[in-house]
Amino acid sequence: RNVSATIIPSLALPLSIMGTFAAMSLFGYNIDNLSMMALTLAVGFVVDDAIVVLENIVRHMEMGKPRFEAALEGAREISFTILSMTLSLAAVFLPVMFMGGIVGRLFHEFAVVIMVAILTSGFISLSLTPMLCSRFLKPQGEHHNALYRATERVFDAWRDLYGWSLRIVVRHRFITLMVALATFVMTVYLYGLVPKGFIPSQDQGLLNG
C-alpha cells in the first residue's frame, strides 16, 4: 500500500536477472531448460533480500529517523544477515556444481546460474536498495484512505488467526511433535512410491485427442 516501497524491491528482480544474463554470456551459457529452471527458482530468493532490507529501513523511519539516516542504519544493521543468507543459499548449490559424471555435467550450468543470481541479488540488496530508499522511500502518513483501513482489518484478522493457532500449537507440544514426526515418516514413505528416472520425459507440445 506504498507505491515507493513496492517499486524499490521490485527493481531488484530485473537487475539481478540482467546481472545473471551477463555472467551467463561470460561463461558461454545460453537460455535452455536448465538455465530457465535456475532463473525461475532464483526469483523468490532475489526478491527476499531486497524486502528484508526495505522492511528494516522502514522500521527505522517509523522510529522517527530521517530517510537518509534510516537507510544507512537499516542497511548497516541488516547487512550481516543478508550476507549470511546469500552465502548459505549459494552454498546449498555448491555440491551440485562439483558433481561428477553425466548428472554433474548436466546440472553444472543450473548450479552456476542460480548461484550467480543469488550472489547478484545479495549485492544489489546491500547497494541499490538502500540507495533507492534514501532517495525515494516515502513514510506512511497518519491519515489513511478507506482501502488502507479495509485491508488493515484483513491483515489484523490474519495476524490474530495466526496468534490463535500458535497458542494452540504451543499448548499441545506433544501432539505437535507427533504430527511433525508422522509428516516426516509419510514423506519418506511417499518418496519410495514416487517413480524416479534419470531425466524426466519432456513435453513436446503435442495433444492427442
- Amino acid 199: pLDDT: 65
Region 128-148: mean pLDDT is 82
* Of 203 and 70, more confident: 70
- Summarised one tens digit per residue, pLDDT across range 61-107 is 988 889 899 999 999 999 999 999 899 989 998 888 888 888 888 88
- Amino acid 202: pLDDT: 66
- Summarised one tens digit per residue, pLDDT across range 23-52 is 999 999 988 888 888 998 888 788 888 899
- Amino acid 200: pLDDT: 61
Q: Is the pLDDT of residue 207 over 80?
A: no
3-class DSSP string for the chain? CCHHHHHHHHHHHHHHHHHHHHHHHHHCCCCCHHHHHHHHHHHHHHHHHHHHHHHHHHHHHHCCCCHHHHHHHHHHHHHHHHHHHHHHHHHHCHHHHCCCHHHHHHHHHHHHHHHHHHHHHHHHHHHHHHHHHHHHCCCCCCCCCHHHHHHHHHHHHHHHHHHHHHHHHHHCHHHHHHHHHHHHHHHHHHHHHCCCCCCCCCCCCCCCC
- Amino acid 181: pLDDT: 97
- Amino acid 9: pLDDT: 86
- Amino acid 104: pLDDT: 83
pTM of the entire predicted model: 0.73
In the chain, pLDDT over 70 holds for what percent of residues? Answer: 95
Q: Is the pLDDT of residue 141 over 70?
A: no
